[in-house]
Structure 1
């Protein structure tokens, strides 16, 4: 077996974590629990709704001699899709605000054991 080289960097030995010894085992921590909606489903639903409204309005409106119904639907889909995204964002903000008002305060107790950090 080779002996360690003298010029090799020395790695200090790791001391055990003493953070768990400083606090009592059953110390409770105050936490706020709230449900938060996901942002992208609101945006996606708004965009889809806007495009559907554009298609319905393009094919139920009066026809044009200059433009086909498909080109009118595409043109309206851009603007109604953007408007739908805006409506979806506003709906998300409202849902998030309602979720923040329904937040509850509670206490959490840290776990000691094999699954504890």
Structure 2
């Protein structure tokens, strides 16, 4: 082994025009972020409706329903922002890899 080559470094792959260099990273999933944001908004709405002052015009259930819609919307927006920040952070930690095709290409 050459002194300039590190023992954990894999041997270089021969250049093949079909090989593609790709970025590999753990991408977060969008829908769980949105769902949790909406759920947190609804929970906060119910807490607000049932711990706040009672209205003479509306029942607590009606107030909880109105607040749920608004707070869920705000929760979804905030969750979308958090998703974008987490995605940006994971993209910065991406590593480069070489995608090598396996087997013969299929002809149509």
How would you bin the TM-score normalised by the shorter chain? Answer: 0.7 to 0.9
The TM-score, its normalising length taken from structure 2, stands at 0.74
Output one character per residue of 1:75-114: Cα deviation in whole Å (capped at 9) or x when no partner.
Answer: 111110100010111111011111111110122333237x
In structure 1, stretches of 5+ residues that fail to align are: 1-24
- Corresponding position: 1:76 with 2:76: no
The TM-score, its normalising length taken from structure 1, stands at 0.69
Question: What's the counterpart of residue 52 of structure 2?
Answer: 61
Larger CA Rg, structure 1 vs 2: 1
CA RMSD of superposed structures (Å): 1.9
Q: How far has the Cα of 1:35 moved from its partner?
A: 1.6
Among 42, 66, 84, the alignment partner of 1:93 is 84
**Partners of 1:65 and 1:43 in 2: how far apart?**
34
Superposed structure 1 runs of 4+ greater than 3 Å apart: 25-29
Aligned residues: 91
**Partners of 1:108 and 1:77 in 2: how far apart?**
47
In structure 2, stretches of 5+ residues that fail to align are: 1-13
Output one character per residue of 1:20-79: Cα deviation in whole Å (capped at 9) or x when no partner.
Answer: xxxxx8735422111211111111110111000000010011111111111110111111
